[in-house]
Chains A and B, each alone.
Chain A
Amino acid sequence: MTVRLPEPLKRLTTDADEPLGQGVYRSALRDERLAAILGASLGILFSICFLTGLYSHIQQNPLSWLPIPPRPAGLYRITQGIHVAAGIASVPVLIAKLWIVWPRFVSFPVAKRISGLVERVGLFPLVAGGIFMTFSGVANIAQWYPWQFSFTASHYWMAWVTMGSIVAHGGAKWATTRRALRRPSRRPALPEADPVLETTAEGDGPGLTRRGLLATVAGTSGILTLTTIGQTVSPLRRLGLLAPRDPTVGPQGRPVNRGAANAGVVELAQSADYRLEVTGRVARPMSLTLDQLRALPSHDAVLPIACVEGWSFSAPWSGVRIRDLLAMAGAEADRTILIESLEPRGAYRTSTLNPDQAADRDTLLATSLDGEALVLDHGFPCRLIAPNRPGVLQTKWVNRVVVL
């Protein structure tokens, strides 16, 4: 490590072993304790996002050895609401944390020992991953796709990269963080509170204090949470100034993720040739017209539509139970069921029900919503609605029920 920097450049670098706010970056706010509080908060928020995200991933990519139970009916609504809310709340925390520790980015020499080098290299996936996860998540809920990759696949795999970096960083910073969190907070001396103060004539107002910065971060997280959470907590709907959805705006007063026109089913769904087929491993294959479908015994259920993007609403649906339909067709119990849509293409053209989900009393092929006939955008002629399930798996415009 004999590389020497020219003096003006050297003034802009920092020493990795010295405290955060050194030299030109001196500020009472670049404080170990503050960095520890924000870092621990981020660790908790990102872990919540990771676990709820993993649950959402397993919902959409079922594991045969870990079948998703149909109950509690509102579970996915809660976990995905928390996933998006925790991600949004972490934005100000991440930005503040990066601001505090940025002088570490210009530490030179890069490392003084092997462990320092390992830690330093690990900061890249940590910072890049944290920024990518929050940016891609925020862009996705606003339905902004400035990229070519698949959001779900990339957000999922990058979550492992980010979480791995958090584990490595957490271990590296464990002792420092514990020490900093146990230390009682101290009031900064005035010159320390604002070095610039010494050079100005102002004798009062030391600028933002550490407590003030924490309050600002918490306040910003609070503002973002309050102005978006109404998309899933409908009593707070009127505060949702920055919510990408309103749970009362849409056809039949309910939002949709994809309308019939986008799905390319407008004509197919309204065709007189429409039939609902129940096929596969059944004793009596069925092919029902819309009138025959509507004549079947109907069941009512109040169930949520919970979108992966964090909005949701709960509503009364009615239609035929999947289990009744399967019994009529003479299907064996304990079969996995494939639900197919009229949609000609798309990743969410089909979904599956595991045996427990298919047997649930509230798993319906709904033909009505809020007591009115289902409109096209909500899945006319009929759609799947089942408990504890992401909205993208509540397949719309259903024309085939296949017993696997």
Chain B
Amino acid sequence: MSGEAPKAGRLFWVSAAVGWGVIAWGVVGIFSNSVDTRPANLARFVVGGALLHDLVVAPLAILVGVAVARTVPGRARAPVQAALAITAVVSLFAYPLVRGYGLAANNPTSLPYNYGRNLAIIVGLVWAVTAIVVIVKVKREA
């Protein structure tokens, strides 16, 4: 398939030039507004986020995927993979809500719910549906 590698044409170089121009505009904006953007602090989050994903989160996800493929029996595998993915992503999104960081802002109207309980409800529903799907699959094949 190596022969398939597309040759870089005009579109590649034009969009690269435009794209890098826009990137440069953003970088200049960051440094010329450094009182607000705090480039050193910002870089820690921008670079740190990418490194955290590429070096920790992604390899971990791959290892979990291998573990699931080896341990979960065939009929249950697809539903369990889906349920694990949904659980992980929804929990990641809900993390700052569950931790309640926004409550420190001393605003009675921010974060009005019990997010730990609500996350448990969503995750519980996801796994309940997963269990039903697995049971139905097993029964149908039996």
Binding site for B on A (CB under 8 A): 15, 17-19, 25, 27, 88, 91-92, 95-96, 98-99, 102, 105, 113, 115, 118-119, 122, 124-125, 127-129, 131-132, 135-136, 138-139, 142-150, 152-154, 156-172, 174-176, 194, 196-197, 200, 202-209, 212, 215-216, 219-220, 223-224, 227, 240-246, 249-251, 255-259, 261-262
Contacts and interface: CB of A to CB of B under 8 A. Distances in A.
Interface in B83-114: 85-86, 89-90, 92-94, 96-97, 99, 101-102, 105-113
B109 A256 contact: yes
A175 B118 contact: no
Contacts of B42: 147, 149, 154, 158
The majority secondary structure among interface residues of chain B is helix
Given A122-B20, A144-B99, A166-B19, 16 more contacts: A17-B4, A18-B2, A91-B89, A95-B92, A115-B12, A122-B19, A142-B97, A143-B107, A144-B102, A150-B38, A157-B26, A163-B26, A203-B74, A206-B77, A242-B122, A261-B106
A167 B69 CA distance: 37
A207 B69 contact: yes
The majority secondary structure among interface residues of chain A is helix
Contacts of B92: 91, 95
Given A167-B19, A172-B15, A204 B93 contact: no
Interface in B13-37: 13-16, 18-27, 29-30, 33, 36-37
A242 B15 contact: no
A161 B49 CA distance: 15
B132 interface: no
Contacts of A25: 62
Among B18, B19, B53, B66, which residue has the most Cβ atoms of chain A within 10 A?
Answer: B19
Interface string B113-135: 10100110110001000000000
Nearest to B27: A161
A122 B62 CA distance: 24
A153 B35 CA distance: 10
B21 A246 contact: no
B85 to A, nearest CB: 5
